[in-house]
């Protein structure tokens, strides 16, 4: 499903969160500026979490359902694909009785904040930018983890005022 990597190759992703639930600032203020990216219950996003994302990959942190919806900063994968334990916890909001700990359905990664954008890169701005017209964010609807190309990565970082 995922092409083998060249040695040392870094890939890029975009992860979505509603800032009312967990914002980029929340991540910056978390212990070690790190959190587990749990509770994803969509099989497409799960495949990226389980198989696609590797330690050292970088992610845009996108605020969905926000005013404005925008990319707020950059984070890094610090632990790759492991079972999402919230699926096994009957008291958890996203408990999934069908997920068997011996063969888990859902996976998560840990991400660490790297840098906040100096200026938000908003959804309208992304839509209006010809260089970003092919972003998976725009083409694949309602997926909470999507890939980003190296060109898109560099372009958005420049817009955000971050050198990464």
Residues at the contact surface with DNA, assessed by CB under 7 A? 16, 18, 41-44, 64-66, 69, 98, 123-124, 127, 141-144
Distances (CA, A) of 153 to 96, 139, 164: 34, 16, 9
Report, in Å, the least distance between residue 123 CB and DNA. Answer: 5
Round to whole Å and give the CA distance between 110 and 123.
Answer: 25
Nearer to DNA (CB atom), residue 113 or residue 135: 135
Report, in Å, the least distance between residue 65 CB and DNA. Answer: 5
Q: Phi and psi dihedrals of 30, rounded to 5? A: -70, 155
What does the angle CA 141 – CA 19 – CA 149 come to, to the nearest 5 degrees? Answer: 45
Nearer to DNA (CB atom), residue 9 or residue 89: 89
Report, in Å, the least distance between residue 5 CB and DNA. Answer: 25
């Amino acid at each position: 499903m995922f092409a083998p990597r060249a040695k040392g190759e870094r890939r890029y992703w975009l992860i979505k969160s509603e800032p009312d639930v967990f914002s980029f600032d929340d991540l910056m203020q978390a212990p070690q500026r790190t959190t587990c990216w749990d509770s994803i219950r969509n099989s497409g996003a799960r495949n990226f979490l389980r198989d696609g994302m590797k330690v050292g990959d970088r992610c845009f942190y996108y605020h969905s359902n926000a005013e404005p919806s925008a990319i707020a900063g950059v984070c890094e994968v610090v632990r790759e694909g492991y079972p999402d334990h919230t699926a096994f916890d009957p008291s958890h909001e996203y408990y999934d009785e069908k997920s068997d700990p011996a063969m888990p359905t859902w996976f998560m990664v840990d991400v660490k904040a790297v840098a906040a954008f100096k200026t938000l890169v908003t959804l309208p701005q992304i839509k209006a930018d010809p260089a970003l017209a092919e972003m998976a964010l725009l083409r694949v609807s309602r997926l909470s983890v999507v890939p980003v190309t190296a060109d898109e990565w560099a372009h958005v970082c420049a817009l955000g005022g971050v050198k990464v």
